[in-house]
């Protein structure tokens, strides 16, 4: 028998996923193998990876909790109420969302499953979802896995990758159900501006759509750009499911703790099926997350480090002939246009060989990602090593062999 024929149509043909350059059914071991080859990983969106990076006060709480022996037990699928209370406080202060922790917050085992779940409760077979391009790969694949269709909407490249409402309008059909936004955008680092988001909100409301927003990178926004949470815009609370994470901003990726904010009616369904789709979130990590929210200042030096590194990245890659880079607006990565050198997959593979550094091919982030690389400058514990590694890449790129016929 050919088991492949037994797979759901939604999953048939799925392979790889997280990175394009993997062996089938072997996601990640490709990267493990690179590790053995002394390749530095700058394609792994995990602050300071692989160096130690748990703040002392969080360590202490977690060690105490292990010693007291409780974390072998479940916390309810909706999440620790104590953690939801901390999250509610943060949502009010940072996101201008005033919500009831008992009704409007769901703790998720990371924001990836949270993002999937947010789309799952909205999408029916045949629905269409408008996805800015480039953006996070899951925005394109998740709708397909749910029997819906992701419709790519090109961002306005010449206008700093802002949302092009005319392009949204052009992609709209009677089947359009929702817009999915990564904000700040990954991989472009774009922080969508207030006026841009207001026009998007108007489009969503006028066309009776829903909005899913992934705000995983909201904590590292630079140059005093105003950060707006779309759910806080007039008329948008009931239309928006917002997905958050402690992986990026707090640098606690391995904890797998995310959270979702949405209105009561959406949460009725999300709480009700949480044990089905998500199970529950890790108990000890939730207790650690409470400690993180109680004393969140530990992230200040992280942001300073990312700020320093982005400026260095801009300087280092900007100096390579044929390479274009804009100053990153957010996050701990940069989006580099290498189309002047050649095909981005070729350039990525060249960097593994010549500079012993692995980065992400822009092709994973949508059609508009072609010709680009995403380089995570936030990897590695020391700024110095991160900068040296970027210099090593730049030195290799300067020597990038000319294409045939050039």
Give residues 214-273 in contact with a copy of itself (rule: CB under 8 A). Answer: 238-239, 247, 251-256, 258, 263-269, 271-273
Q: Is 206 in the site for a copy of itself (CB under 8 A)?
A: no
Residues in 270-299 that interact with a copy of itself by CB under 8 A: 271-285
Half-sphere exposure of 171 (CA within 13 A, CB side): 25
Q: Within 166-205, which residues bind a copy of itself (CB under 8 A)?
A: 177
Given the complex with a copy of itself, which of 34 and 316 has the nearer CB atom?
Answer: 34
* Beta-carbon-side half-sphere exposure of residue 406 (alpha carbons within 13 Å): 8
- 168 within 8 A of 154, measured Cβ to Cβ: no
Name 335's bridge partners. Answer: 374
| 320 φψ region: left (φ > 0), alpha (ψ -120 to 50), beta (else) | beta
The nearest distance, CB 219 to a copy of itself, in angstroms, is 15
User: Which residue's CB is nearer to a copy of itself, number 113 or number 196?
Assistant: 113
- Rounded Cα–Cα distance for residues 390 and 377 (Å): 8
**List 57, 147, 318, 324, residue binding a copy of itself (CB under 8 A):** 147
The answer to the question of residue 300 lying near a copy of itself (CB under 8 A) is: no
Site string for a copy of itself, 325-364 (x = CB under 8 A): ----------------------------------------
Query: What gap in Å lies between CA 355 and CA 388, rounded to an integer?
Result: 11
* Residue 138 within binding range of a copy of itself, rule CB under 8 A: yes
Q: How far is the CB of 145 from a copy of itself (least distance, A)?
A: 6
How many residues bind a copy of itself (CB under 8 A)? The answer is: 106
Query: What angle (nearest 5°) sits at the alpha carbon of residue 279, between those of residues 89 and 15?
Result: 110
Joined together, the tokens standing for residue 78 give 């909706």
Residues facing residue 41 across a β-bridge: 358
Query: Rule CB under 8 A: is residue 17 a binding residue for a copy of itself?
Result: yes
- Binding to a copy of itself in span 387-406, by CB under 8 A: none
Choosing from 87, 122, 179, 375, the residue that interacts with a copy of itself (CB under 8 A) is: 122
Of the residues 39, 40, 43, 116, which one makes contact with a copy of itself according to CB under 8 A:
116
Structure tokens that stand for 105 in this block:
């917050």
Between 70 and 159, name the residue whose CB sits nearer to a copy of itself: 70
Can you tell me whether residue 132 is helix, strand or coil? strand
Interface residue with a copy of itself, options 35, 37, 50, 159 (CB under 8 A): 50
Q: How far apart are CA 376 and CA 180, in angstroms?
A: 23
Could you tell me if 390 and 377 are in contact, meaning their C-beta atoms sit under 8 angstroms apart? yes
Residue 154 binds a copy of itself (CB under 8 A): no
In the complex, what is the shortest distance from the CB of residue 223 to a copy of itself, in angstroms, rounded to a whole number? 27
Q: What are phi and psi of 104, to 5 degrees?
A: -120, 5
């Amino acid at each position: 028998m050919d088991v492949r024929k037994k797979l759901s149509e939604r999953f048939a043909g799925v392979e790889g996923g997280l990175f394009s350059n993997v062996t089938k059914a072997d996601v990640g071991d490709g990267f493990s193998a690179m590790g053995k080859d002394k390749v530095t990983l700058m394609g792994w969106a995990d602050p300071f990876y692989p160096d130690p990076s748990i703040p002392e006060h969080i360590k202490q709480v977690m060690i105490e909790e292990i010693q007291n022996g409780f974390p072998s037990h479940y916390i309810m699928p909706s999440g620790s109420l104590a953690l939801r209370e901390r999250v509610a406080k943060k949502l009010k202060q940072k996101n201008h969302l005033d919500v009831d922790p008992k009704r409007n917050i769901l703790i998720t085992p990371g924001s990836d499953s949270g993002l999937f779940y947010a789309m799952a409760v909205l999408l029916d077979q045949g629905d269409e979802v408008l996805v800015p391009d480039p953006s996070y790969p899951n925005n394109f694949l998740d709708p397909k896995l749910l029997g819906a269709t992701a419709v790519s909407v090109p961002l306005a490249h010449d206008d700093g990758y802002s949302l092009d409402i005319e392009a949204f309008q052009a992609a709209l059909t009677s089947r359009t159900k929702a817009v999915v936004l990564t904000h700040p955008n990954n991989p472009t680092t774009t922080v969508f501006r207030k006026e841009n988001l207001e026009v998007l909100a108007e489009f969503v409301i006028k066309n009776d759509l829903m909005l899913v927003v992934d705000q995983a990178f909201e904590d590292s926004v630079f140059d005093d750009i105003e950060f707006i949470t779309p759910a806080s815009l007039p008329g948008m609370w009931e239309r928006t499911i917002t997905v958050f994470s402690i992986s990026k901003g707090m640098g606690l990726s391995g904890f797998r703790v995310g959270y979702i904010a949405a209105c009561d009616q959406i949460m009725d369904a999300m709480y009700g099926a949480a044990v089905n789709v998500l199970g529950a979130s890790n108990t000890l990590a939730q207790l650690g997350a409470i400690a993180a929210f109680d004393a969140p200042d530990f992230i200040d030096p992280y942001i300073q480090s990312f700020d320093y590194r982005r400026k260095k990245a801009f300087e280092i890659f900007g100096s390579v002939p044929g390479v274009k880079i804009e100053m990153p607006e957010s996050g701990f990565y940069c989006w580099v246009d290498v189309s002047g050198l050649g095909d981005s997959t070729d350039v990525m593979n060249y960097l593994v060989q010549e500079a012993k550094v692995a980065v992400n091919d822009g092709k994973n982030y949508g059609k508009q990602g072609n010709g680009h690389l995403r380089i995570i400058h936030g990897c590695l514990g020391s700024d110095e090593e991160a900068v040296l590694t970027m210099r090593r890449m730049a030195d290799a790129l300067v020597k990038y062999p000319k294409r045939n016929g050039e």
